[in-house]
Amino acid sequence: MAVNYYSRIRFAMNLMPQLTEASNQKELSRVLTVLAAGSEADIDMDDMDLKKNYTLHACLSHCVMMTDFMMEELAKRYPHTSFSHSYPGTVKSGITNSLTGPIRLGVKVLYSVMTPWILNFRESGERHLFQITSSMYKARNGSVGSIPLNGGLDIAVGIDGVKGSGAYLLDWDGRPAGDMAVINKYRDMNAGPKIWEHTMTAIKKATSRKRLAEDDAQEEQKRREQHAAGAPNLAGWRAG
């Protein structure tokens, strides 16, 4: 969840001053997070960080749904920047090159069977470059610095069903994605503001001096316990 959700939002928030300045200078200002738009499912609004009931399936659902609504919340607060959550499709990127044995063989067989539905990394990159530069995915309050529409293309419909709303859920081919029945169910539960509040609180807690001091104290206590137990001098470990 840290990699797929929290760190991405933190990364975007850290860059918002620069992105805002870019829009002020009439330059392109976009945020694109590539995860799994379209894989929306039910989430636990009382356990957003899954501290009580963590499973891989729940992790996926929460990361997808929370990303969806955070793109919308960010677009409301930064209307001169466009925000998109994209599903890349199945991309033959070489990520499985480190696999060995039967697993690697199985992946190769799967790739051969699914060849008609697999994108190579170049095409995937080109499609995402289009998503992050085209006027089709304009910011809420304009589309400065972006590439003009051509070929009969039109402004995309945002997550809220409004054309050009500044927050988009995109399939592998750049078309609108998202299970709107699930999204609207949670919109009626005021999910957007609640997810924003939860996320900002989590980031603040993770980066607070108190949290960092507590982590340092725990690490120091761990080192002392290892030393007292006669722990071996492993590489990178030195008794205090």
Residue 215 lies in a domain: no
Tally: H helices and E strands in the chain: 7, 5
CB 81 within 8 A of CB 73: no
Residue 212 lies in a domain: no
Residue 43 lies in a domain: yes
Residue 224 lies in a domain: no
Residue 218 lies in a domain: no
User: How many domains would you assign to the chain?
Assistant: 1
Residue 240 lies in a domain: no
Cβ burial of 51 (10 Å; 0-12, 13-18, 19+) is exposed
Instruction: State the pLDDT at residue 51.
Output: 94
Phi/psi at 196 (5° precision): -60, -50
**How far is residue 41 CA from its own chain's centroid?**
16
Cβ burial of 205 (10 Å; 0-12, 13-18, 19+) is exposed
Residue 134 lies in a domain: yes
Residue 116 lies in a domain: no
> How does pLDDT run along the chain (240 residues), one tens digit per residue?
999 999 999 999 999 999 999 999 999 999 999 999 999 999 999 999 999 999 999 999 999 999 999 999 999 999 999 999 999 988 876 666 676 777 777 766 766 666 666 788 889 999 999 999 999 999 999 878 899 998 889 999 999 999 999 999 999 999 999 999 999 999 999 999 999 999 999 999 998 876 667 767 777 777 787 777 765 554 444 444
Name the pTM for this structure. 0.81
Three-state DSSP class for 176?
Answer: strand
Collect all residues with Cβ–Cβ distance below 8 Å to 65 and sequence separation of at least 6.
Answer: 40, 41, 43, 182, 183, 186, 191, 195
Structural domain of residue 18, as residue ranges?
A: 2-87+128-207
One-letter amino acid for residue 231 of the chain: A
Instruction: State the pLDDT at residue 216.
Output: 72
Instruction: State the pLDDT at residue 173.
Output: 92
- Which tokens sit at 104? 């690697």
